[in-house]
């Protein structure tokens, strides 16, 4: 098996990275996953992450065959760096520099650099990440230019030829639901609805048509809006 046929997916257990995982599994002969415990406000995200992997393996033996080891790295360092709405109990709002309070400066850069190091170590040439600038461009480290620059930096710094793949970059949330359906049909859409986690508040008490969540944080609003648009186009 050629190493070019393998991919490392940055996997959080959310809708986007779960769709990216299916995208990679439908393309590559071997797929591994990596995730980060960065002191998220709610451990529910990490619990969902393990659950999605288990259920994906059960539902799709063909994907299970390709799915290699998962790595979870402890990144408590972001908590030490300072407070954001993702790591501390504070309000989600826009800050004076025009970025949402959920923005953790440098987070994706660090995640992808560590994922790059892991890919290098494992002989994997493709990094897959669910970053997207279509629906919500509030995070500068999710932009296409940032990813392209980072790919150059990683390859120079590690003397390798990694490719950062961003299958969701130009898709709306509705189009991400469509992609999920195309990759795994209704059973995969149902798996995402039931088991992935998106809500910033870590809320899983209420089951809406689009899945679990508080229904009012920016992440829930985006997921709900995308799902309604997706259903309207069905």
Which residues are near Zn ion by CB under 5 A? 199, 201, 213-214, 217, 220
Say how far apart CA 199 and CA 203 lie, in whole Å. 6
Choose between 55 and 204: whose C-beta lies nearer to Zn ion.
204
Say how far apart CA 54 and CA 9 lie, in whole Å. 16
Choose between 68 and 100: whose C-beta lies nearer to Zn ion.
100
Q: How far is the CB of 215 from Zn ion (least distance, A)?
A: 6
> 55 exposed, middle or buried (CB, 10 Å; 0-12, 13-18, 19+)?
middle
Q: How far is the CB of 22 from Zn ion (least distance, A)?
A: 23
Choose between 67 and 217: whose C-beta lies nearer to Zn ion.
217
Q: In what helix (H) or strand (E) does residue 8 lie, and over which residues does it extend?
A: strand 6-10
Choose between 97 and 209: whose C-beta lies nearer to Zn ion.
209
Say how far apart CA 7 and CA 121 lie, in whole Å. 13
Question: Alpha helices, DSSP H only, in 123-197?
Answer: 144-158, 173-195
Q: How far is the CB of 214 from Zn ion (least distance, A)?
A: 3
Q: How far is the CB of 155 from Zn ion (least distance, A)?
A: 37
């Amino acid at each position: 098996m050629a190493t070019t046929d393998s991919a490392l997916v940055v996997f959080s257990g959310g809708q986007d990275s779960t769709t990216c995982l299916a995208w990679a599994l439908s393309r590559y002969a071997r797929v591994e996953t990596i995730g980060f415990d960065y002191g998220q406000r709610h451990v529910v995200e990490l619990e969902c992450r393990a659950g999605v992997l288990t259920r994906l393996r059960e539902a799709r033996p063909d994907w299970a065959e390709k799915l290699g080891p998962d790595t979870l790295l402890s990144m408590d360092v972001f908590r030490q760096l300072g407070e954001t709405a993702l790591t501390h109990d504070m309000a989600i709002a826009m800050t004076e520099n025009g970025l949402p309070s959920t923005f953790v400066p440098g987070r994706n850069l660090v995640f992808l650099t560590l994922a790059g190091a892991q890919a290098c170590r494992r002989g994997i040439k493709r990094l897959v990440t669910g970053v997207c600038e279509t629906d919500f461009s509030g995070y500068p480290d999710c932009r296409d230019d940032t990813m392209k620059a980072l790919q150059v930096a990683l390859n120079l710094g590690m003397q390798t030829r990694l490719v950062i793949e961003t299958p969701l970059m130009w898709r709306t949330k509705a189009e991400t639901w469509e992609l999920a359906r195309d990759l795994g049909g209704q059973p995969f859409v149902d798996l995402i609805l039931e088991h992935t986690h998106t809500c910033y508040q870590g809320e899983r008490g209420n089951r809406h048509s689009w899945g679990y969540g508080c229904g009012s944080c920016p992440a829930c609003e985006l997921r709900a809006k995308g799902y309604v648009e997706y259903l309207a186009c069905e």
